[in-house]
Amino acid sequence: MSDLHYLSATEALALFRARELSPVELMTAVIERAEAVEPVINAFAETHYHQALAQARAAEARYAGKGGEPRPLDGLPVAVKEEAEIAGQRNTLGSLPLRDVVAAQTAAFVQRIIDAGGIVHARTTTPEFSCAPVTWSRLWGVTRNPWNPQYSPGGSSGGSAAALAAGTAVLATGSDIGGSIRIPASFCGIVGFKPPYGRVPEMATFNLDHYCHEGPMARTVADCALLENVIAGPHPSDVASIRPKLEIPGELAAAAGMRVAFSADLGCYRVDTDVAANTREAADRLRAAGVRVEEVSLPWDLEMIKQAARIHFGMIFGPSIKEIHAKHADDLTSYTRNFVAESDQISKDDFVTGLALEGQIYAPLGQLLADYDALLCPTFAVPSLPAGYDPGEPVPVNGQTSEDWMDVLMTLPFNIASRCPVLSIPSGLSRDGVPTGLSIIAPTYDDVTAFRIAAAHEDRFPWFDPRKRRPGL
């Protein structure tokens, strides 16, 4: 089978069960693809190919009726973001000072992937401490976008998105504290889901940070739902994890008749013309599917959104890396040092101010989602960022310069409104040859609605079909 490395997870599982494809064949194809493209995209921090092939042979035996029943992900190559812990494997967080750290435990959601038969053949690159919208570090170098290597795959789950786009993984994991699943999904033309806070168990102490989410990344909506159903659900290690477990149905109800709001700029962002045009085309596809799409305006203020986010990061995320910064500042990336310096400007007195701002930001969104089934908007204000972009540098938008890199992070409001599930799906291709993304924001904890709308769009715009459209690598 040609382009075997681009096979979807759901297709692969069906072929495994029918004995028409072996997990060994699929794993071999994925590894061979990685060996061909990794010198260009650099999406893998570490590989475990020998172990993965042994596990694929064991999965092959299970599909042949030997060694127990096949499991939900049995035999699928799954790339896991290096930020997540796996016992016995390195857990460097992309930082030179931590280059020798080995995890002593496995994150609960990753253990669920392993228990479901997923084969972790590779760990994916991140920016240092996952604190940038691009993926490069002094430890791993620059990760590039398979659609156009001059551009970034996004961050912080950029390695996972690049691997999916390049065909070097069938499924992948990401984490999201300010857009880190959705930004790479948009830049690389894949599907990324930010579950609502608490849906997927998180490691302490970030399980208590409501901006933080672990989530699935895939090439299709069905594959994303498959992985989400494996990793979601309450866990005794995480007091914030939600019960009962929610399952995304295998057969989703049609989206026809749903009433959906649409905003090309969320009321306060300057948006690239290609991004806006592709978002409108995506809205039109949903209209053609019978969805009632109505344009709305949100009374949001961008400075308020950025202030709330900076207070939150300064109170929680910044202090989490201050000890390493104090000892190893010279070994850290420029964006990490800048992050810590900015966090130093936030005081304890700002905490309540930040909470009040978050409430003011959610209020109009909450009312909107009481009146509509979901909100559609661009995932990111520009199609991509240069591969070596350093946060803090200006970002051009439609011939004008945004001096603050947060001016293009249209993902941030939905970490503030963290109980809202958000799916990013491909909306089209930009003039630079990189994809753009559409975000689908559903009411709090209404994950299924986001998947229903995404599936309706994918039915009319099956993006990742290697016979029609794929990266140039």
Helix or strand holding residue 54 (H, E): helix 49-63
Distance of CA 342 to the CA centre of its chain: 25
Q: Which two tokens stand for residue 67?
A: 């060694």
Nearest to 192, CA basis, from 430, 456, 408, 437: 437
For 294-352, the DSSP string reads: EE------HHHHHHHHHHHIIIIIHHHTHHHHHHHGGGS-HHHHHHHHHHTT--TTHHH
Active-site residue 95, yes or no? no
**Cβ proximity of 452 and 250 under 8 Å:** no
| Residue of 22, 180, 424, 439 with catalytic role | 180
Neighbours of 40 (CB within 10 A): 13
**Cβ proximity of 59 and 70 under 8 Å:** yes
DSSP letter for 434, please: -
| Residue of 22, 137, 152, 156 with catalytic role | 156
Active-site residue 156, yes or no? yes
Q: Hey, is 123 helix, strand or coil?
A: strand
Q: What are phi and psi of 52, to 5 degrees?
A: -65, -40
For 439-466, the DSSP string reads: EEE-STT-HHHHHHHHHHHHHH-----T
Question: Helices (H) and strands (E) in the chain — how many of each?
Answer: 15, 15
Cα–Cα distance measured from residue 63 to residue 456, given in angstroms and rounded to the nearest whole number: 32
- The b-or-e profile of 103-135 (16+ CB within 10 A means b, else e) is beebbbbbbbbbebbbbbbbbbbbbbbbbbbbb
Q: What are phi and psi of 374, to 5 degrees?
A: -165, 170
Nearest to 357, CA basis, from 323, 315, 392: 315
| Residue of 81, 157, 427, 439 with catalytic role | 81
Active-site residue 427, yes or no? no
Nearest to 293, CA basis, from 255, 261, 254, 257: 261
Would you please indicate which residues are annotated as catalytic (active-site) residues? Answer: 81, 156, 180
